[in-house]
C-alpha cells in the first residue's frame, strides 16, 4: 500500500505535467515518469485520469479546510470579511501549483462533462467555506447560499487565471468587490431577517 508521501508525490507530478503539457495531453505514464515511479505503482492508486483528477481535488479541499484561519469564524467580523479570508485561502493554495491548476481550469472550460462533473464538489466546497465562516448551510436558504457563493467563486477564478501579480492584488480586489456587492444585495433584500446578516 502506498504511503501518503508517495501519493502527494504523484499528485504533485500530475500538476507539474498538466502545467507543462495541458490536462488533455497528460498520460498516466507521463506522471509516473515525472514522479520517478514505475507505472504499475502509480496505477495501484490511480488507474485512470479521472481518479487522478479526483485525488488532486480531494487533497486540495482537505488542505483548503485545514488552512483557514480560525478567526474566519469570528462572529464579530462582518460576513464579507469572514468569507474573504476563507476564499482567499483557496486562491493562495492554487498559487502553489499555478500552472497545473490553471491547466485543469482551462480544460474544464473546454470539456462540459469535466465541468459538470465538478459541480457537486464545488457545491460541497462552498458549504465548507460557509461553515468555516460561521454561516449556516442547512435547508433551502443554505442551498441557495452555496450556489450563489459558487457562482461568485467561479467568477473570481477567471480573474485569478489572468492575474500574474506576485501578491494576487487583482484577485483580492475582485473578491472583495464581489463580496461587498453581495452583502449590499442581501441588505436590500425584502426577505432579510432582523438578525445580523450572515447571508
Q: What is the pLDDT of residues 96-107, one digit of tens each?
A: 999 999 999 999
Kindly report, as residue ranges, where domains of CATH 1.10.10.60 are found in the chain: 1-47
Asked if the model's pLDDT at residue 32 lies above 90, the reply is yes
Is 45 in a helix, a strand, or coil? coil
Instruction: Give the Cα separation of 130 and 132 in Å (integer).
Output: 5
Kindly report, as residue ranges, where domains of CATH 1.10.357 are found in the chain: 61-188
CB environment 39-57: b (16+ within 10 A), e (fewer) = eeebeeebeebeebbebbb
How many Å is the maximal CA-CA distance in the chain?
A: 61
Question: Distance between alpha carbon 159 and the CA centroid of its chain, in Å?
Answer: 14
Look up the CATH architecture of domain 61-188. Orthogonal Bundle (1.10)
Q: What is the pLDDT of residues 117-174, one digit of tens each?
A: 999 999 999 999 999 999 999 999 999 999 999 999 999 999 999 999 999 999 999 9
CATH code for the structural domain at 1-47:
1.10.10.60
- Reported confidence tier of residue 1, pLDDT bands at 50, 70, 90: very low
Instruction: Give the Cα separation of 187 and 70 in Å (integer).
Output: 26
Instruction: Give the Cα separation of 108 and 102 in Å (integer).
Output: 10
Amino acid at each position: 500500500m502506498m504511503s501518503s508521501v508517495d501519493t502527494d508525490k504523484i499528485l504533485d507530478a500530475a500538476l507539474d505535467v498538466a502545467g507543462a503539457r495541458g490536462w488533455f495531453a497528460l498520460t498516466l505514464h507521463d506522471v509516473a515518469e515525472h514522479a520517478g515511479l514505475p507505472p504499475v505503482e502509480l496505477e495501484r492508486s490511480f488507474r485512470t485520469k479521472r481518479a487522478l483528477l479526483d485525488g488532486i481535488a480531494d487533497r486540495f479541499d482537505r488542505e483548503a479546510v485545514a488552512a483557514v484561519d480560525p478567526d474566519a469564524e469570528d462572529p464579530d467580523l462582518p460576513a464579507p470579511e469572514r468569507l474573504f479570508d476563507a476564499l482567499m485561502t483557496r486562491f493562495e493554495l492554487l498559487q502553489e501549483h499555478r500552472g497545473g491548476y490553471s491547466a485543469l481550469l482551462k480544460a474544464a472550460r473546454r470539456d462540459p462533462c469535466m465541468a459538470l462533473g465538478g459541480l457537486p464538489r464545488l457545491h460541497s466546497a462552498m458549504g465548507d467555506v460557509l461553515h468555516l465562516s460561521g454561516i449556516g448551510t442547512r435547508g433551502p436558504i443554505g442551498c441557495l447560499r452555496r450556489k450563489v457563493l459558487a457562482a461568485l467563486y467561479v467568477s473570481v477564478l477567471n480573474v485569478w487565471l489572468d492575474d500574474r501579480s506576485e501578491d494576487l492584488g487583482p484577485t483580492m480586489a475582485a473578491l472583495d468587490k464581489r463580496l461587498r456587492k453581495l452583502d449590499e444585495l442581501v441588505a436590500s433584500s425584502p426577505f432579510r431577517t432582523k438578525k445580523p446578516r450572515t447571508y
